[in-house]
Amino acid sequence: MVQYNLKKITVVPNGKEMIDIVLSRTQRQTPTVVHKGYALSRLRQFYMRKVKYTQQNFHEKLSAIIYEFPRLDDIHPFYGDLLHVLYNKDHYKLALGQVNTARNLIGKIAKDYVKLLKYGDSLYRCKCLKVAALGRMCTVVKRISPSLAYLEQIRQHMARLPSIDPNTRTILICGYPNVGKSSFMNKITRADVDVQPYAFTTKSLFVGHTDYKYLRYQVIDTPGILDRPFEDRNIIEMCSITALAHLRAAVLFFLDISGSCGYSIAQQAALFHSIKSLFMNKPLIIVCNKIDLQPIESISEEDRKLVMEMKAEALKTVIGQGSEPTNEEGVLVAMSTLTEDGIIAVKNAACERLLDQRVELKMKSKKINDCLNRFHVAVPKPRDRMERPPCIPQAVLEARAKQAAENADRETKRTEKDLENENGGAGVYSANLRKHYILANEEWKEDIMPEILDGHNVYDFVDPDILQRLEELEREEGLRLAEDAVDDFEMDDLELTPQEKEALAEIRKKKSLLIREHRMKKSTAESRPIVPRKFDKDRKFTSERMGRELSSLGLDPSLAISRARSRSRGRKRHRSPETGINGQDAMDMDIEPSNKKLRARSRSASRSKSRPPSEVVPGEGFRDSSQKNKAIKLFKKSSMKRNKDARRGEADRVIPTLKPKHLFSGKRSIGKTQRR
């Protein structure tokens, strides 16, 4: 594939930018320090180096511009004429010629001043010659600034041109504006050409690619052409004329038979006859588009006659190639880009015709004669007169019949799109998403299933085996209840009375309820807030309630209530004048203990004594209390700095150094433009 690097051309700087680039590079890449104490030969060499280096930089920059831009006489005629149409060949060559002249002038200036510098007799004279040489070079570059700006605009426009290979398999689409060329292009390729209901939406060439018989084809969409003299056509139309004139391609001439494009069939036929000379020696197909608005059979006799004349002209172009067309029907094809009827037929016809022509041309070339003597076509001889038709296995025939039946069912089956159109269209019809549910009962499909129930997501608890598991749980619960009923009520090898058995049964029932309630609370403990016992609103855990429940069972609740109250009161001691500590009679004590011992003993009995932090606990790893104190002090000292850093915030006063001296002072390495 021929590739023109139109997108890889280097950016063209304007005159001032080029001067800055070259002088900055000269300043950076050559020595900058010179003293008047140097020998004169060294001074001359110093300034000659400056002049030569500047001339070399200008020469490299300008040469890159000259060689990277394509030469219109050396590239393919299609690109040459296209660039001439877009940019005017004379202006283009003139701009490149001025750049070439400036390059030669800069070379002559450098040569002359280097010759003068060889005879410089002082530091001042050499410096003045260097300044004059660089100034004249910069003046030359400033004079070609308009040409450089023009070439930069051309480079930007060239980078936006499509990459068209003039020598590959190509399908070219042409015709009047707004006849459906870009719509057809979007259908058969992955190109995204803008389509609008007005003329000249396409203003340049667009390229797409499609495949046919494992070969890649290049499809080019051209702007619309009007039927007028060649001199009156604008740049947009000339792009199409250039492509038709220079590209070896299969041409698709689009014809709008409905007249919705704004031009009649007679006007389109006149355009066809005015440019038919561009179709010679090219496969030509006339495409009758927009048959959804008006079928080709319903057009008038005059228009049909014009279409048949165009078909005859298309056949002449094919016969003019030296071969008879194999299929006349492929010359005139009807289609609709809106309903996509006939689009694939048009594409296949164009690709087939182009492929046949390319094969025929290769067969006529000289290269094929060098290869024919290497080929041998083996023709088998028949061994008898028996006919052996192709045998298709029965399984393949059955599979084909099954596939055909499925295709027929698919065509007759009503889709959701059909239902939507029948019931008011989009925004009115709402598709039923439940009608394809696979359920045991068809009536269940319309049941309303809540998403949230009692604060829980219902779908978290949906289980396909939930009914079976419920039955197992109920069966297990029945077995347990039966075991509890059969269980004999014997305690300590004594037979219970009927009243005691009833009370025991009630107690066990209450116990099982409490256990079940506790298990339910435990299963939902993560999602249930923990409420302290003192905030119990239902008063479930009071001694009065316990007493009422025990009394209802026929039991005496006094002992249980007194035991619960004594346990909840803690370990307080009551002391009376007649009673000593721990309930001992004061008269029975031989020796009355002192008040200090009594306080210590009562304190130890009432609460536990707290351990000092320095006391060593077995297992901590410290030898004695002094070692533990030392470790505590080291820990506090190490955490002090971390605590300070943690307390530092946005409000803390910090005055950073905004301009550090080592970054904002010293010798300038490059220098400024105005100081040169």
Q: What tens digit of pLDDT does each residue of 113-163 get?
A: 999 999 998 999 999 999 999 999 999 999 999 999 999 999 988 888 888
Per-residue model confidence (pLDDT) at position 489? 47
Backbone φ and ψ for 116, nearest 5 degrees, come out as: -70, -35
Percent of the chain with pLDDT over 90: 20
Residue 674 carries which side chain, given as an amino acid letter?
Q
**Confidence (pTM):** 0.52
Over residues 210-226, the mean pLDDT reads 90
Q: At residue 588, does pLDDT exceed 50? A: no
Q: Are strands 332-334 and 452-453 parallel, antiparallel or unpaired?
A: unpaired
Tell me the C-alpha distance between 36 and 123, whole Å.
7
Architecture per CATH, 6-158: Up-down Bundle (1.20)
Extended beta strands in 554-619, E state: none
Over residues 72-87, the mean pLDDT reads 85
Tell me the C-alpha distance between 232 and 221, whole Å.
22
Per-residue model confidence (pLDDT) at position 419? 86
Per-residue model confidence (pLDDT) at position 586? 42
Tell me the C-alpha distance between 33 and 42, whole Å.
12
Q: Are strands 215-221 and 206-212 parallel, antiparallel or unpaired?
A: antiparallel
Give helix 145-159 / helix 77-87 axis angle, nearest 10°: 120
pLDDT in tens, 504-559: 888 888 888 888 888 877 777 666 666 666 666 666 667 788 888 888 777 788 88
Angle at 33 between CA 27 and CA 39, to 5 degrees: 125
Range in 8-12, 197-201, 589-593 with the lowest mean pLDDT: 589-593
**Which has the closest alpha carbon to 180: 17, 334, 20?**
334
- The average confidence (pLDDT) of the chain is 81
Residue 302's pLDDT band (boundaries 50, 70, 90)? Answer: confident
Backbone φ and ψ for 155, nearest 5 degrees, come out as: -60, -45
Per-residue model confidence (pLDDT) at position 133? 95
Give 193-213 as a 3 state SS string. Answer: CCCCCCCCCCCCCEEEEEEEC
**Which has the closest alpha carbon to 275: 321, 226, 319, 322?**
226
Per-residue model confidence (pLDDT) at position 75? 85
Q: Which fold has domain 162-367?
A: Rossmann fold (3.40.50)
Over residues 83-105, the mean pLDDT reads 91
- List residues bridging with 209 in a β-sheet: 218
Range in 43-52, 387-396, 647-656 with the lowest mean pLDDT: 647-656
CB atoms near residue 335 (< 10 Å): 24
Q: Contact at 8 Å (CB) between 616 and 625?
A: yes
pLDDT in tens, 614-628: 888 877 778 888 888
Per-residue model confidence (pLDDT) at position 594? 53
Per-residue model confidence (pLDDT) at position 393? 92
What value does the CA radius of gyration of the chain take, rounded to a whole number of Å? Answer: 52
Angle at 461 between CA 457 and CA 467, to 5 degrees: 145
Residue 105's pLDDT band (boundaries 50, 70, 90)? Answer: very high
Over residues 52-61, the mean pLDDT reads 95
Over residues 236-255, the mean pLDDT reads 88
Over residues 418-447, the mean pLDDT reads 86
Residue 325's pLDDT band (boundaries 50, 70, 90)? Answer: very low
Tell me the DSSP string of 360-385: HHHHHSSHHHHHHTT-----PPPSSS
Domain positions in the chain: 6-158, 162-367
* DSSP summary character for residue 593: P
